[in-house]
Chains A and B, each alone.
Chain A
Amino acid sequence: MNILEVKNLTKQFGGLTATSNINMNVEKNSITAVIGPNGAGKTTFFNMITAVYKPTAGDILLNGKSLVGLKPHQVSHYGITRTFQNIRLFNDMTVLENVMVGMHQNLKAHWVGTLLQLPHIRKMEEKAKVEAYDILKYVGLEDYVNENAGNLAYGAQRRLEIGRAMAAKPKVLLLDEPAAGMNPKETERLTNLIYDLRSKLDVTIILIEHDMKLVMKISDFIYVLDHGELIASGKPDEIRNNKRVIEAYLGKGAIANG
């Protein structure tokens, strides 16, 4: 069953076409990778799904419902959450608070109730804290609960971003270069985390990534973009041997290594 369908998605910035006519079907509970050289339009594609940009043409359907024209926070309420290529944490808030912000759409707390200190709101806050702590334990940050997010090491910040996105309990999780700047050991840890996420949280994952070893290992399906166009799609093995992909992106060495 397809959870996310993208139809003829096009984005133009003035005269520049960032993406044109992209079609994509993402199966529920799968891991899909979007790869391509820099400037291929991968992040633009993510930005359109999360409503940061409005597409010039085309449609995005989540479980058959169109997301085009919604505000970014509404898309999040529909069940799509993301991480960012250049990490965007709430740097002056604690690690725990960062995760709690991720939970916001599941917390029903009117500010009037907060002021009156209604018991159910206090209980909910306490429960949210424990849940946030569980998530931090899951991504391996339980020792930094009270630390400011901006003080964390790079790899830890990436994991916190994933933790924050998890807290929103999304149906579709978009990861924008989650392994960028990580060392091999950290990448391996991340790979396991992504695997685990899918099985545990019943979430569909779409990721942009340049680390081909990671992509080939975890993806069920791969889409390749170049100059804003979809040049290939298929299972990892098909992509690895696709002539156009090798020409545009992978390079001849990839065949030897793969």
Chain B
Amino acid sequence: MSETVTTAPRRKIDAELPALDLASDFPILARPVNGRRLAYLDNGATTQKPDAVIDAESRFYRESNANIHRGVHWLSQHATELYDDARVTVQQFINAAHAEEIVFTRGTTESINLVAQSWGRAELRAGDEILITAMEHHSNIVPWQLLCQQTGAILKVAPVNDAGELDLEAFDALLNDNTQLVAISHVSNALGSINPVAALCARARAAGAVVLVDGAQAVAHQAVDVQALDCDFYAFSGHKLYGPTGIGVLYGRRSVLKSMPPWQGGGDMIVTVAFDRSTYADVPQRFEAGTPNIAGAIGLAAAIDYLSEIGMARIAAHENALLDYATAAVGAIGGVKLIGTAQHKASILSFLVDGIHPHDLGTILDTEGVAIRAGHHCAMPLMTRLGIPGTARASLALYNTRADIDALVAAIHKAQDIFGVRA
């Protein structure tokens, strides 16, 4: 199966362009942690924010704050314009055909739950099947389990191989006439495996299924084009994209979104309300009940503007070169086993160190200013499949450099010294 057209080529641009050096745009990276220069390698959990985002949120509250879609006064109209502009910024970022295909949510988790509870409860019947993969984050598993309990639909799981790649033959075999929905991650948060989503979308749609792509770990690392992917839904969070927490996006194909009933009721999602009957707003307002996270949407747009100025292809090239460097450097340490060796990977290096539990490793690295994640990464079924309790995970962002990887390697050596297991 060919790789998606949206994945940047690897190992090509490193020689042509100098590595990015953008740490000075991110004020938190200048603060020492535990007396050391911070090597922040927990970007899969959340990314740090550039001045451009922090300033945009602050500026909104200082200069533009008002509620949207309801005021006759100038500030309200001004805030509404900024919020609507943010939607267009998101639309262009993922190349959606229409601005109204962009629904603002709290994050990826809420985006997926919205689809499950609106589209899913309206469309699914007992015996219908939902197909996911064994590498999904809990947020792309549990909403479907809840939906199955509510509708009698059946959850099917396509397996992964030992390298952490989706088993494409098994995926095809599980896809059938009863499959109503396919929900797949674009990039695995635990292992970094990139799924060939464009091809998977084509197969799923040919089988008559609707496709949701969990893009939480993809949008910050490569250009995403929802029209090229031809997915029905694409979900992601602002805070993993250098934007604020509490803001996220659900992209929905317009024809599918328009067919969906409201999920939450309240202000802003209605046209008229009477006690015997209410009528609902068109998309996307139908799915944005209540006052939204206006400042968050504007902060997210500022993050996208920041990224667009650098260029997603440039960012992908920088991160891919750094991932190659990190994979070689960490993989060369005696006693280290890399977990997740998919051919196509992005930004994430999961590993185990012989004789040191990931949690102990995380503590020791922290005392050296190296921030990583240790544990199951909200992918417990994947850890069970791989036969491990968890991993240590270093996840990269555009501001990371070889100095961060060198700090990681030195800290792993130190942990091995402390535990007396240096090879």
Bound together: no
> Which B residues fall within an 8 A CB radius of A?
none
> Which A residues fall within an 8 A CB radius of B?
none
